[in-house]
Amino acid sequence: MEAKTARILDGKALAQKIQSELSDRVRSLQTQIGRPPGLAVLMVGDNPASAAYVRNKERACAKVGIASFGQHYPANASQAELELAIHALNEDDRVDGILVQLPLPEHLDATSLLYQIAPDKDADGLHPVNLGHLVRGDRGLRSCTPAGVMRLLQAYQIGLKGKNAVVLGRSILVGKPMALMLLEADCTVTVAHSRSQNLESITSQADILIAAVGRTEMITANMVKPGAVVIDVGINRVVNPDGTSRLAGDVDFDAVKNVAEFITPVPGGVGPMTVAMLLENTISSYCLKQVEATRKY
């Protein structure tokens, strides 16, 4: 009998579909609102991975008709200079979304900068007001990567109610908001991390396993329950023996695809969904602002 392999959760295709729908929406809204939506990406320094992410985000903005107000600062930019830039963008009516690309150089306080972003322009959903809305289960701008994972699960009609979900990683960017979104979808959620003991006994209970730890291919086949849904949030650059490099996730894809029922590839899984959710957040701030402007008159 031929071995069964997991179905691929194609984030790239779904993100393209979402972007094409957003592009149609922008076209029709723009005639009512009189300007395009705008997103400002602030990048500090020259981290090559961050530069690639920022390029991707700006390219995606151009495709759907969002104007980019990107600002690139040298690695020695000061906290005060960045705060001023954020305050100016908060006041700029052409800008609906602001994001600070992470990680920042060590001399900067990222949390304090994120707090300066107006919550209604917080396209990354990382401001405490938006994180607070998520904790309560209220409407608000949601963090893009976990929102993208939820959208992918929904698109493939993967049932979540009552399922055991294990989130590996507890970052504010992914692990914590991911756990809350799965809880909101009625999963029984466990958060495991680098200090967790007996990781394999935890992960092998997971119907839904989310790997967001940034450790290349650490999830091996023996750690995965047969029939599980495996979502790989990791994007790690691996240098091959011949000096070339490739992208790899936190999951050993080739081995785990023989155990799981669904699996995301890297690249082409969660990454493009993060970008699609960023565009969606920007456009929903754009619409909301319009609704509020009409209410005033």
Residues carrying an active site annotation: 57, 101, 124
User: Is 144 or 279 the residue whose CB approaches ligand GUN more closely?
Assistant: 144
281 binds ligand GUN (CB under 6 A): no
54 binds ligand GUN (CB under 6 A): no
**Could you tell me which residues come within 8 angstroms of residue 52 by beta carbon, excluding any fewer than 6 positions away?**
none
- 167 bridge partner residues: 191, 210
Binding residues for ligand GUN restricted to 102-141, rule: CB under 6 A: 102, 124
Q: Which amino acid is at 31?
A: T
Report the candidate in 155, 150, 130, 152 with the shortest Cα–Cα distance to residue 140: 130
284 binds ligand GUN (CB under 6 A): no
280 binds ligand GUN (CB under 6 A): no
274 binds ligand GUN (CB under 6 A): yes
User: Is 203 or 274 the residue whose CB approaches ligand GUN more closely?
Assistant: 274
User: Is 6 or 42 the residue whose CB approaches ligand GUN more closely?
Assistant: 42
Contacts with ligand GUN by CB under 6 A: the residue count is 10
60 binds ligand GUN (CB under 6 A): no
Closest approach, Cβ 31 to ligand GUN, in A, equals 31
Binding residues for ligand GUN restricted to 143-172, rule: CB under 6 A: 144-145
Report the candidate in 48, 97, 34 with the shortest Cα–Cα distance to residue 86: 97
* Contact characters 231-270, ligand GUN, x per CB under 6 A: ----------------------------------------
* Contact characters 80-109, ligand GUN, x per CB under 6 A: -------------------xxxx-------
Q: Which amino acid is at 184?
A: E
Sign of CA dihedral 36, 37, 40, 46: negative
Contact positions vs ligand GUN (CB under 6 A): 53, 99-102, 124, 144-145, 173, 274
